């Protein structure tokens, strides 16, 4: 039986040209939402929209950098013009340069924060303002389990995602009494396009079966599993979940990984 938890809701998903964003666009649309699909690469955004429409869903493409304030204002205006409103904003756009602390440049650090933190801030600011004035809504931000403790990612990426967790909490408090909820999802190791090099290298070494073995489920995650959590938070099923950083990681953050 097809769920329609998001029927009648209008959603924006950034970073939706591939991976978690694409999976979320498909999931949201399958549950009845109309989706503005946002990404920097026009051809990838168009592919996602085509996939949504082929599956019978409703979606419109919007190519833009989600860390630019004017673009965020424009995408919200476009969503309202196309669909008549906005109830869900999934700020999923992110980047990770990688590299050791002593090899990262200040410019790389700042760029990581621009994409990961500024984009989330702008989503919370502008979507929160609209939702506050129109009865409420749900803002969801993609973070990472790398935000919780060391050795999960490089310094810039991990620190930026920790900032995202704090943003979700503080934004939820600033929007108190408005029926606007703000939450962060913390994925573990997910098989996305952005992780292709890691997975390809493991397969070349014959070690692909070791990926994800540090978590109690002993496997990697799929973008659809993060999309499922996003759909829950976007729906009324998540109506009492607010200001939270929710790990979706196979349990890797529940313990010291060495014991597995």
Q: What is the set of active-site residues?
A: 157
> What tokens appear for 11 in the block?
């959603």
Residues in the chain, overall count: 260
Report how far residue 231's alpha carbon sits from residue 224's, in angstroms, rounded to the nearest whole number.
10
Q: CA-based angle 252:256:260, to the nearest 5? A: 70
> What tokens appear for 161 in the block?
């995602």
Cβ pair 64, 38 in contact under 8 A: yes
CA nearest neighbour of 48 among 72, 18, 10: 18
In angstroms, how far is CA 66 from the centroid of its own chain? 12
Report how far residue 90's alpha carbon sits from residue 41's, in angstroms, rounded to the nearest whole number.
18
Three-class SS state of 242: coil
Q: Are strands 137-142 and 88-91 parallel, antiparallel or unpaired?
A: parallel
The residues, any chain, with a CB within 8 Å of residue 210's CB and separated by 6 or more, are 202
Residue 88 to residues 10, 136, 168, 260, Cα–Cα distance (Å): 6, 9, 14, 38
Report how far residue 106's alpha carbon sits from residue 100's, in angstroms, rounded to the nearest whole number.
13
């Amino acid at each position: 039986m097809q769920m329609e938890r998001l029927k009648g809701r209008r959603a924006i998903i950034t970073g939706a040209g591939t991976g978690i964003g694409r999976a979320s666009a498909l999931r949201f649309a399958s549950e009845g939402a109309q989706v503005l699909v946002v990404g920097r690469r026009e051809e990838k955004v168009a592919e996602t929209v085509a996939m949504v429409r082929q599956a019978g869903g409703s979606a419109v493409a919007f190519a833009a950098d989600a860390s630019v304030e004017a673009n965020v204002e424009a995408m919200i205006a476009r969503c309202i013009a196309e669909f008549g409103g906005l109830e869900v904003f999934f700020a999923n756009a992110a980047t990770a340069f990688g590299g050791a602390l002593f090899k990262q440049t200040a410019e790389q650090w700042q760029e990581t924060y621009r994409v990961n933190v500024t984009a989330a801030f702008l989503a919370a600011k502008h979507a929160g303002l609209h939702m506050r004035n129109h009865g409420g809504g749900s803002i969801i931000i993609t973070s990472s389990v790398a935000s919780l403790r060391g050795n999960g990612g490089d310094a810039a990426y991990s620190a930026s995602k920790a900032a995202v967790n704090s943003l979700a909490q503080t934004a939820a408090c600033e929007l108190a009494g408005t029926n606007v909820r703000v939450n962060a999802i913390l994925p573990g190791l997910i098989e996305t396009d952005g992780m292709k090099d890691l997975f390809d290298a493991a397969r070349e070494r014959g070690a692909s079966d070791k990926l994800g073995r540090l978590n109690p489920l002993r496997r990697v995650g799929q973008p659809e599993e993060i999309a499922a959590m996003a759909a829950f938070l976007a729906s009324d099923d998540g109506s009492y979940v607010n200001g939270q950083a929710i790990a979706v990681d196979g349990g890797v953050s529940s313990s010291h990984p060495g014991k597995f």
